[in-house]
Structure 1
Amino acid sequence: MNFQRGRSREEPEINLIPMIDILLVILIFMMVTTTYANFSGLQINLPQAGGDTPSAKVNKQINVSVDATENYAIDEKPALYSGVESLAAELHRAAGEDKEPVIVINADAKATHQSVVNIMEAARLAGYSSITFKTEKRSK
């Protein structure tokens, strides 16, 4: 006997709510347990200090000074700054015949970062790659 003659049979359906809950729990578990590597945008090789003796050949040093008001001096002679190119020409004149002098930057503690970058750019334009900075020892 068929007692359900007028009733239509319901189609079975899959309930998605428990499946979504399980997927969210798995996602949270993966986020918590995954270690994230910090990739630095800069590749920095830290310098090493040692007590090596300097080589017998010492290149000429050109002292470039800049004060807090962006006044430049090359080997204690005032240099008029009208652009990086003019500063590069002054460095070239100060180097004379030396092909690879050491540029020593003496920057005031209150000098702008841009003024130091200007000196470095002028040295690059002049073709000099040896640049160093002069500092004072901190008093205790």
Structure 2
Amino acid sequence: MKFRRRRRENIELNLISLIDVVFVLLLFFVVTTTFTRQSQLRVELPEAVSGMPAEDAAGKRIEVAISADGVYSVNDQLLPKSDLPTLLDAIQQASGGDNTLRLSISADGKTPHQSVITAMDAAGKLGFSKLDMTTVEAQGGR
């Protein structure tokens, strides 16, 4: 007896609808994802309760002073330029590569905000994690 072979049907998967679903899921995850930036500097704000300066255990600290015009000085050495690379070099020299020292930023009350941010950016790029912002005790009865 001779049997006839049936023709095999070609099985097709419709991938177009699967690709559409993947794109919709991708779009959903892109839209609902939140991106957070972790800050690299922890700022210890001083409290003006006693008016006494905090004692430093190590004794050595780096002082960055900013005048009202935005001119920088590092450990009482006036910098020739008021830009980030010059400030980075001066802080690196003053610290000797030791980024575990405390870095104190003293800014005049009328210093442009950008100058203080530039000093904080320089500290962050060099890896300083102990940053102090110095203030003076407020006078009563202004």
What's the TM-score, normalizing by structure 1?
0.56
Deviations 1:100-139 (A, max 9, x none): 1111011000001000000000111111121111111011
SS at match of 1:104: strand
Amino acid across the alignment from 1:65: A
1:1-140 to structure 2, matched below 5 A, reads 57-58=57-58, 60-81=60-81, 83-96=83-96, 98-140=98-140
Provide structure 1 residue ranges, at least 5 long, that are not aligned to the other structure: 1-46
The percentage of counterpart residues that share the same residue type is 27
RMSD: 2.9
Distance 1:119 1:56 in 2: 21
Q: 1:114 to 1:55 in 2, by over 3 A?
A: closer
Q: 1:82 to 1:120 in 2, by over 3 A?
A: same
Spell out structure 1 runs of 4+ moving beyond 3 A: 54-57
- Please say which structure displays the higher CA radius of gyration: 1
SS at match of 1:81: coil
Q: Number of residues paired by the alignment? A: 92
- Comparing 100-109 and 89-98, the one that deviates more: 89-98
SS at match of 1:136: coil
* Relative contact order higher in (CA < 8 Å, ≥ 6 apart): 2
